[in-house]
């Protein structure tokens, strides 16, 4: 039910982008980079594939990070004015809902699910003033994903995304010592 609604929103947004007047080539890239809609037979995707960089057109945690940065542009000024805990909680819940909404509209690729889980853990920790390292955020996010969806463990996208992030977190921790 929820995924069909998200697919409907994705189709609606794709229709709006198609009607925007972008050239076919630009439209292809915008659809791939924002909604994860890729036509693998297109000339542009063929060029990306031949160059060995087709993974750039796949939605990932990087795309979600950019989305979160845009949200932060709007949320940060409001956050500075807000004082009471319940207002900060409401803002946090709104931001988390928008992030997970984007993940749903994008089709729930595991790299985005992992990034959204990490973002949710980090922003929740920030709300309660918990000091967490990237490794702790990663651990909690992976535990959350595997608790809610144990089959994710067999998903190659989840394995690659999680291990790459673990490598970054571990290297960052070692480098900071």
Give the model's pLDDT for residue 117.
95
Q: What's the per-residue H, E or C state across the chain?
A: CHHHHHHHHHHHHHHHHHCCCCCHHHHHHHHHHHHCCCCCCCHHHHHHHHHCCHHHHCCCHHHHHHHHHHHHHHHHHHHHHCCCHHHHHHHHHHHHHHHHHHHHHCCCCHHHHHHHHHHHHHHHHHHCCCCCCHHHHHHHHHHHHHHHCHHHHHCHHHHHHHHHHHHHHHHHHHHCC
The whole-chain average pLDDT of the chain stands at 81
Q: Say whether both 74 and 25 belong to one domain.
A: no
Whether 171 has a pLDDT exceeding 90, the answer reads no
Range(s) of the domain holding residue 166: 61-175
- In terms of domains, do 107 and 32 share one? no
Longest Cα–Cα distance in the chain: 54
- Could you report the per-residue pLDDT of 113-156, keeping only the tens digit for each? 999 999 999 989 988 888 898 899 999 999 999 999 899 899 88
* Residue-level pLDDT at 139: 94
Same structural domain, 123 and 39: no
- Which pTM does this prediction carry? 0.77
The confidence score (pLDDT) of residue 140 equals 95
Provide the pLDDT confidence category of residue 21 given band limits of 50, 70 and 90.
confident
Residues 46 and 103 in one domain: no
Shared-domain flag, residues 76 and 148: yes
42 and 90 assigned to the same domain: no
The pLDDT of residue 2 is: 57
The pair phi, psi for residue 153, each rounded to 5°, is -60, -30
Question: Considering 57, 72, 89, which residue would you say is the last residue of a domain?
Answer: 57
Instruction: Provide the pLDDT for residue 81.
Output: 61
Which of these, 134, 127, 121, lies nearest to 173 by C-alpha position?
Answer: 134
- Residue that wins the pLDDT comparison between 22 and 173: 22
Quote the number of domains for the chain: 2
């Amino acid at each position: 039910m929820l995924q069909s609604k998200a697919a409907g929103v994705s189709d609606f947004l794709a229709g709006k982008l198609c009607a925007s007047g972008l050239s076919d080539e630009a439209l292809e890239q915008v659809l791939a980079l924002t909604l994860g809609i890729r036509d693998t037979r297109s000339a542009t995707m063929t060029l990306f594939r031949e160059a060995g960089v087709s993974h750039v057109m796949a939605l990932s945690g990087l795309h979600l990070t950019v989305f979160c940065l845009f949200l932060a542009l709007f949320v940060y000024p409001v956050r500075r004015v807000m004082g009471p805990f319940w207002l900060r909680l409401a803002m946090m819940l709104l931001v988390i809902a928008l992030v997970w909404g984007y993940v749903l509209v994008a089709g729930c690729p595991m790299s985005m699910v992992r990034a959204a889980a990490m973002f949710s853990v980090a922003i929740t920790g920030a709300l309660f003033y918990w000091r967490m390292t990237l490794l702790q955020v990663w651990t909690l996010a992976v535990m959350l994903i595997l608790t809610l969806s144990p089959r994710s463990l067999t998903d190659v996208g989840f394995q690659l995304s999680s291990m790459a992030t673990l490598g970054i977190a571990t290297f960052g921790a070692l480098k900071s010592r």
